[in-house]
Amino acid sequence: MLAKPGPRQLRARKAPPVTAENSSPELRQVVLDSTNARSLAEFYRQLLGFEYRPGHEPPAAGEPDPAGEDWLNLWDRAGHPRLAFQQVSVMPEVTWPNGPVHQQLHLDLAVRTKAELDAQHERTQELGARLIEDRSEDSEEPLRVYADPAGHPFCIYVSRA
């Protein structure tokens, strides 16, 4: 039978104190503001095949949506947080690449082939995205830039990696 470790042995196993030099914060999720958080969350849920965090699912028709009026989370299929949506009362629409309101963040979404890029183009627009720029014929990095229903830019590109 193995002996239980004594207090001295337990103290010796303690991890070193946490400092900025030996630890880093973990990127948990990207948060997007929206004047309609539920609608934007639903757009990305369908586009990316994510799931709502338990308790954040849409309510039954006609029922109140307290989560959708505040904050919603989407998780990937493995249950990891990926995107969150924060309800705001006012948000200026991004006018990038032209105009005074620049993008401050955008999402990069990757596909493996040009055929997949083209297939996702139709689906993305059917879900409510608007095409901003089409570089799908670029020989080095085919891509398309869209605005989601709230106006946030995002790219879908062919990744060679």
The larger pLDDT score, comparing residue 27 to residue 119, is at: 119
pLDDT tens figures, 18-56: 777 777 778 889 999 999 999 999 999 999 999 999 999
What is the distance between the alpha carbons of residues 131 and 147, in angstroms, rounded to a whole number?
6
Q: Which of the 8 DSSP states describes residue 110?
A: E
Q: Could you tell me which residues are beta bridge partners of residue 157?
A: 110, 143
pLDDT tens figures, 143-152: 999 999 999 9
Give the pLDDT mean for 95-118: 90
Q: Which of 112, 102, 110 is nearest to 144 (CA)?
A: 110
SS3 47: helix
